[in-house]
Structure 1
Amino acid sequence: MNTALLDQLREIVGAAGVIAGSEVRSRYPGFFMSEIGADAIVRPASVEQVSQVLALCNAAGQPVVVQGGMSGWVRATQTRAGEIALSLERMNAIEEVDLANRTATVQAGVVLETFQNHIEGFGLSFPLDLGGRGSCQLGGNAATNAGGMRVIRYGMMREQVLGLEAVLADGRIVSSMNRMIKNNTGYDLKQLFIGSEGTLGVITRLVLRLRERPTSSNTALVCADSFDQISRLLRHMDGALGGQLSAFELIDHNFYRTNTGAGRHAAPLPADKPFYAIIEALGADQERDTQLFEQALGQGLEQDLCSDAIIARSERERQGIWAIREDLEHLVRDFQPFYAFDVSLAVGHMEAYMREVTTRLRARWPQGAIAFLGHVGDGNLHIAIGAGGENDRHAVETCVYEPLRAISGSVSAEHGIGLEKAAWFPISRNEVERNLMQSIKLTLDPNGILNPGKIFAAETAGSP
């Protein structure tokens, strides 16, 4: 990297704000990357510093990749030699919690779990929740439009953001810090940046919508002999619980058996059924809501919508059930080489899709391992595969992504496109859509310095 440029960056953010040399390689690169390849990590402490950094880099044609908690799965934060990583970890202030308006103003570097814990003291909650809560940052949650376990009730991150502040590639600050749920005045500019994976601008601050903190919680694990039972149980529970259903998580037999094997998590139900589901309901009256939950689940059993069920009677039991769903350690170790996928499709297509993916995989690798899990309530499936060798990634991806083409599915439900899915982007977005996206990119980042090569450059991932 140009030494003079690095010195100018230090003048903007201070000596402690720039990490270079071997210290860059010592930083955590994310699960699917071996190391941070950037020449330096720049850590601004204010939006003004972000603005100055980007203006300087834009003028110099210096590529910049924004990095948050590094918990993404599509290599959207991957860097190469000659690039700068821009970390917002120093911009981690919770600036305000507005109780009357039930909003919070936060800087982009605030860690999700830190924020969740903070607002609990005000009797409020932030409903976005995902496995990476302890490391992911709110700015990254917005930049990837994160989903998680409670989308069925509260929606994606997009639904939680009322306003935001972002810095464009040339250093201009776009301040759209709206605090209102209803604001129908022209284009909703914040939506340009939500889900853009750092390719259009750098999100620096957010106004987030808060909800009243639930005071009751009920969780159950059920098993079923068919996916049809699971899908009908979903509809039944959603209707019977009167809006309290907050999570409905699918776990297939292979995933359940892997995580409840000897020496692993305790199995609340026998591991002999093809499908399992975790059902969660949040409300405001524990006694009344427990009665409603038990009644709804009992009706499901009577109507043959599931084969068996167990309700958590303590916080320990609740955590034990969720640990089966959230713990990926055993899966990563047992499934080798490990591939993880995140797709979305209509619930009505799920059973046939899972069957086709499995058939395609086993036709190529008869001993290949595969497991499905996901947020079936909102049509999101996660797929874990252990098959093939180091050079078989494309063939494995073909098994997963090609069946989505005929059913108008999405190759990415939650994690975005990044580098990992760039080649498969056309399955889910037509040419007119992709061209319009690239036009927006060219307008906001004409020199292409922001997260170059991500989303659009299919050649970087290998053409299908």
Structure 2
Amino acid sequence: MADAPSTNAAPAFLVALREALGAAAVLIGPDVPERNRNDWSMQQPARPIAVVRPVDTAGVSMAMKACRAAGVPVVPQGGLTGLCGGSRPEDGWVALSMERMVGIEEIDPASSTMTVWAGTPLELVQRAAAEAGFYFALDLGARGSCAIGGNLSTNAGGNRVIRYGMARELVLGIEVVLPDGTVMTSLNKMLKNNAGYDLKHLFIGSEGTLGVITRVVLRLHAQPQCTMSALCALPDYEAVVRLLGEARRGLGPLLSAFEVMWPDYWDVVTKRVGVRSPLQQQTGGNGKEVYVLVEAQGTDEAIDGPRFERWLEKLMEDGALTDAAVAQSVADTQAFWALRDACAEFVSVLGQNISYDIGLPVKSMADYAARCKAALAERIPGCDSVYYGHIGDGNMHLVAWVPGMGPGLQPKEQMDEVIYGLVREFGGTVSAEHGIGTAKKKWLGHARSEEEIALMRLLKGALDPLGLLNPGKVV
């Protein structure tokens, strides 16, 4: 790989851009930070010729115009926590980082909205909403690092989609810089606005291939006044589906999370990671037990707490559950979530592994998990896998690995063929919440028709005819 050019040998357009935006805004050649060379997809680090770090929309527009005139590709970057290569540059590209476009511009209590800059970390958005007496519902494990612009560009999901929807459901307005530098400002605050095409949805979920998000108007909700949670053991997946129906009927709009862990996942987190189970029954007797974390958010603890407990007690009386534990404190709730979030520790106990994010019809998930586990073991000698996910919103995660194989040696291509081949057979999607980027581009046709992909390419060509904004990603 050739070395990036030194500042003195930098292209003229970068020198001019640096003079216009300031030295801190344009890092050239050897000044390019290591973090901007890759994202969490862990592909081979690249060498962008520069990192441009504007402080406002005008700076983004200027950068896009300069790169377009020079014919240099641009990749937008937020918190760089993506898992599919969507924010990874290629050698010779310019990385356009939102890291200095941070802050809360306005909180409007009357419209229950917050206007923020795209580089603002998700956790900062959540905290600002809470301090103002509101709740921003999007939540995921990378909350402290990921940027809200990246969350929207990938249409992030997270833990509470079953109640609040995906990221696109939490956005009312958007400001975007198009590939030619044009600024489209549509910072709408109204829940109802049917004046023509709802253009924000072109850019939410497009992974920075159609435009660069600079500011957004977020939809806020009332702050929950109480949270109830229970960890349940069930005899099989059929009982899980019935429990999901009972939760929707019995808890209604209070239901905020429904996390499912298959027995193989449960064994890893309780026996190998070492997270303590609050259940009396540590592992069941038939090998088919499935574990569910149910969470509900209410507005009145005196009413909603007893309601949640009565709902759970009736299920126990009816024999729907094998075992259950109800959180009595915030610490209990955190302990329950620690079981679900223990997948972050898998590298330390399993070694190198490959994680997958797929979507499936809820009723088919158990059949998929069983067939996939068997197919991986048959196709790849020694391959093991575990299954878990949000389930209530149709999202399954799985982790596959061959013990003892080091970094870069896991047979990912063979795993992909098995996992995504079965996804197509079951009528699912190869990406439920992580996007496509470059890592899943090969498999897009397993989830989208030829006509859908052709329309995606038509939109890309219309907005970016020179193909300079994040080229080669998604389609």
TM-score by length of 2: 0.93
CA distances 1:69-92 after superposition (whole Å, capped 9, x unpaired): 111111111112101111101111
Distance in 2, Cα, partners of 1:128 & 1:164: 17
Contact 1:369 1:387 in 2 (8 A): yes
3-state SS of paired residue (1:324): helix
Distance in 1, Cα, partners of 2:379 & 2:313: 43
Number of corresponding residues: 456
Alignment of 1:96-115 (within 5 A): 96-115=106-125
1:195 to 202, 205, 209: 205
Which range is displaced more, 240-249 or 300-309? 300-309
Contact 1:230 1:305 in 2 (8 A): no
Distance in 1, Cα, partners of 2:64 & 2:273: 51
Q: Name the structure 2 match of 1:361.
A: 376
Query: Are positions 1:150 and 2:160 aligned together?
Result: yes
Q: Name the structure 2 match of 1:283.
A: 298
Query: Are positions 1:131 and 2:141 aligned together?
Result: yes
Distance in 2, Cα, partners of 1:222 & 1:39: 52
Contact 2:209 2:473 in 1 (8 A): yes
Distance in 2, Cα, partners of 1:37 & 1:224: 50
Q: Name the structure 1 match of 2:93.
A: 83
Unaligned runs of 5+ in 2: none
Gap change, CA 1:262 and 1:196, over 3 Å in 2? closer
1:232 to 229, 239, 242: 242
Contact 1:250 1:277 in 2 (8 A): yes
Q: Name the structure 2 match of 1:24.
A: 32
Query: Are positions 1:4 and 2:51 aligned together?
Result: no
CA distances 1:267-325 after superposition (whole Å, capped 9, x unpaired): 21244143111110001111211111111112222333321110111111111111121
Contact 1:20 1:39 in 2 (8 A): yes
Unaligned runs of 5+ in 1: 457-464
Q: Name the structure 2 match of 1:337.
A: 352
Alignment of 1:169-180 (within 5 A): 169-180=179-190
1:231 Cα deviation after fit: 1.0
Gap change, CA 1:163 and 1:209, over 3 Å in 2? same
2:390 to 375, 383, 393: 375
1:214 to 201, 221, 224: 224
CA distances 1:334-380 after superposition (whole Å, capped 9, x unpaired): 33431010000110111111111111111123532211111111000
Which range is displaced more, 377-386 or 397-406? 397-406
Contact 1:335 1:387 in 2 (8 A): no
Which range is displaced more, 382-391 or 137-146? 382-391
Identity %: 42
Distance in 2, Cα, partners of 1:304 & 1:411: 36
Contact 1:27 1:36 in 2 (8 A): no
Q: Name the structure 1 match of 2:78.
A: 68
Counterpart residue identity of residue 468, structure 2: I
Q: CA RMSD in A?
A: 1.6
Distance in 2, Cα, partners of 1:21 & 1:253: 50
Counterpart residue identity of residue 19, structure 1: L
1:23 Cα deviation after fit: 4.3
Contact 1:167 1:203 in 2 (8 A): yes
